Structure 1
Amino acid sequence: MTKTSSVQALFDVCKKAFTPSGTPPPSYQVIQKLSSILDKTSPADVGLKEDNSDDDRGHGFFGHNQLNRIVRWAQPITYLDIYENDNFTMCVFCLPTSSVIPLHDHPGMTVLSKVLYGSMHVKAYDWVEPACIQKIRGPGYPPVRLAKLAVDKVLTASSGTSVLYPKSGGNVHCFTSVSTCAVLDILTPPYEEAGGRKCTYYHDYPYSSFSIANGADIIDGKEEDYAWLEEIDTPNDLSMRQGEYKGPAIQV
């Protein structure tokens, strides 16, 4: 009897559980089942080797010299499309050392992420509700919206699966590779601009950057746990290329 691949097992669960609208949201049981499979998934299960990137791993943010650092930063992030339909997306991002997937959101979406190799710093926020929006910087400046820090840590292959939800878990997040790394993502429902699920990028400002009346009544905890997020255009230095998925084929 042929053993079912991790990718096929993930697909089978997603196919049964997910809907195009994301309603109802994934149940606790479904999230646990997917997390259990993801936690056991290795780079080889998706056709990768740990040294898949040409990047020089192990130097973190600091290379042998400045030129090497610039070369590594210039390398694009590779996107591997495993499967996508109207209900969900399964994909892998391969990040060279010191590369960044900038702060962005997942409106109305649930996302499971598992680091397959290497190490990656994750910084993530959730919006403060009810929405606290400030338009205090004058004409030509977009408003800023208050968010609370949900995640600020380094994840490795030994870390468990991370899950973010539409309104919790760090729906607005940023990835920074500490070393060459790869992360497997499952997004449900997928990005779809016509469905109101457009990917928006943000810049975060410390809470102290903008004064606010009755600010003490809005925050719950330390100021350091809050930030103002400003919507920005897709960063010009975000370099991403389509790679070829070489893992096991999925039986649809």
Structure 2
Amino acid sequence: MGAEFEVAVAGVAAPPAKRRRRMVAAAGGARRRATRRAPAPPTRAVQRLFQASRAVFRGPGTVPAPAEVALLRAMLDRMRPEDVGLSADLRFFKAREAAEGKTPTITHTTIYKSENFSMVILFLPPNAVIPLHNHPGMTVFSKLLLGSMHIKSYDWAGPGPDPATSGANSLPDDRLRLAELVVDDVFTAPCDTSVLYPTAGGNMHRFKAIASCAVLDILGPPYSIEEDRDCTYYTEIPYSHQPSSDLVDNEQERRRLAWLKEIDMPKELKMCSVAYGGPPISDR
């Protein structure tokens, strides 16, 4: 049984050997041409997000332009948990500590970090809290990938009066500064991406997980003690609790104001880091 052997399939006889060879050669050429024309496989969502972030964040002192903000925000709005390898079954989301009356541990992982920007994911089990803190000189994109959380954020209300220097405080070491409420609401995934800027958008914010949460943050530039971008924590003092609270007459505006006081990092804050295990990115 050599090359001349013919096979009938479904009652149709195979062509002669020479014709078969011509057909096979033609089919092989067509496959090669089709292979050459085939587009490259689609880039992973996290890789596309990384490439866009690298183009948008150009170093300390720069703030993305409105068109660049719109680009990153649209990309983040489409991000899904599986795009970074997440599911709600991960151990980061267990509530055992809260059930035992302990402070829940917040876990974070770094996808990428450079001098210009960083990409990180925060994992918060139920009732976990990231206290009120700032982002000095930074633009931050936050995308809630999983869960539900309460977010409260402030911006400085201008230089404003300082009760510590005006003698309004009983404790002269207290340094208070007036801040205006920007956000005080509950967010549930999927929801729109939030953006904060160096002096607007709620640069100082507080997270409290209602249900297990995962938050994808892009920070540009990232925190850096060496470059004077360390994280500062605050405690809130209601505006009306200070003698100088008669500076604002409008009741609605008064409710949106608070005095913020710098504090040390809360001792109850428990954070740990883990290696990123999602789809890899290439910085080439």
Provide TM-score, normalisation by structure 2.
0.79
The amino acid that maps onto 1:29 is A
- Counterpart for residue 124 of structure 2: 95
- The 1:132–1:198 alpha-carbon spacing in structure 2 relative to 1, beyond 3 Å, is farther
Indicate conservation of the 8 Å contact 1:55/1:72, yes or no. Answer: no
Number of residue pairs matched by the alignment? 241
Among candidates 113, 127, 151, match of residue 122 of structure 1: 151
Shift of the alpha carbon at 1:47?
Answer: 1.5
Indicate conservation of the 8 Å contact 2:176/2:261, yes or no. Answer: yes
| Residue 47, structure 1, aligned to residue 85, structure 2 | yes
CA distance in 1, matches of 2:89, 2:254: 40
1:96-115 equivalent positions in 2, closer than 5 A: 96-115=125-144
Shift of the alpha carbon at 1:137?
Answer: 2.6
DSSP 3-state at the match of 1:32: helix
- Counterpart for residue 176 of structure 2: 144
The amino acid that maps onto 1:203 is T
The amino acid that maps onto 2:281 is I
Identity among equivalent pairs (%): 42
| Residue 75, structure 1, aligned to residue 104, structure 2 | yes
| Residue 211, structure 1, aligned to residue 243, structure 2 | yes
Q: Which has the higher helix share?
A: 2
Indicate conservation of the 8 Å contact 2:148/2:210, yes or no. Answer: yes
CA distance in 2, matches of 1:72, 1:139: 33
CA distance in 2, matches of 1:133, 1:5: 50
- What do the CA deviations read for 1:152-176 (whole angstroms, capped 9, x no partner)? 1111212100000111110000000
- Counterpart for residue 5 of structure 1: 44
Structure 2 unmatched runs, 5+? 1-39
DSSP 3-state at the match of 1:195: coil
CA distance in 2, matches of 1:185, 1:55: 18
CA distance in 2, matches of 1:244, 1:68: 22
Shift of the alpha carbon at 1:213?
Answer: 7.0
Indicate conservation of the 8 Å contact 1:73/1:97, yes or no. Answer: no
CA distance in 2, matches of 1:88, 1:142: 34
Structure 1 unmatched runs, 5+? 58-66
- What do the CA deviations read for 1:31-83 (whole angstroms, capped 9, x no partner)? 111111111111111121122236457xxxxxxxxx97443743311101100
- Counterpart for residue 198 of structure 2: 166
CA distance in 2, matches of 1:142, 1:27: 37
Indicate conservation of the 8 Å contact 1:53/1:96, yes or no. Answer: no
CA distance in 2, matches of 1:86, 1:220: 44
CA distance in 2, matches of 1:220, 1:22: 37
- Larger Rg computed on CA atoms: 2
- The 1:228–1:34 alpha-carbon spacing in structure 2 relative to 1, beyond 3 Å, is same
| Residue 18, structure 1, aligned to residue 57, structure 2 | yes
Among candidates 250, 260, 278, match of residue 229 of structure 1: 260
The amino acid that maps onto 1:42 is R
Shift of the alpha carbon at 1:11?
Answer: 1.0
CA distance in 1, matches of 2:79, 2:231: 27
Higher relative contact order (CA 8 A, sep 6+): 1
- The 1:94–1:233 alpha-carbon spacing in structure 2 relative to 1, beyond 3 Å, is same
